Amino acid sequence: MAMYDYVTFRYRMPNGANGATFATKDLQCTMDQYEVTNQGRLVRVTTTDQDERPVEDLNYSGWLDIISASGHFRLEFMSGSLRAIQVMDEDKWAQFDPIHCIPS
């Protein structure tokens, strides 16, 4: 059975899709839940092991591939902040802009 982590990202994606919950294998694959905040920060919001993986801002840098029925996207983080979003099927990049966040 494949294990994933889940990322909530409420954002209007560059291809027009509305983001919500995505699966990823780019983190620890422990079924933890993460959120990309309106400020573009990746935060662990729930975990199966609070002692080893506390709920916190990860200050993440690197690429994070996320997948859902609305598509496959690559998020680029630098120094903890989301900088750009790539639509993988279209090879289209867009800069992260908080104005495209969808209120929860």
**How far is CA 87 from each of CA 18, 31, 95, 101, rounded to the nearest angstrom?**
13, 24, 12, 16
**How far is CA 7 from each of CA 13, 20, 94, rounded to the nearest angstrom?**
14, 8, 19
- Domain coordinates of the chain in residue numbers? 5-100
73 closest CA partner among 17, 4, 3, 34: 17
With a cut of 70, say whether residue 93 has pLDDT above it: yes
pLDDT band of 52, cuts 50, 70, 90: confident
pLDDT band of 54, cuts 50, 70, 90: confident
With a cut of 70, say whether residue 1 has pLDDT above it: no
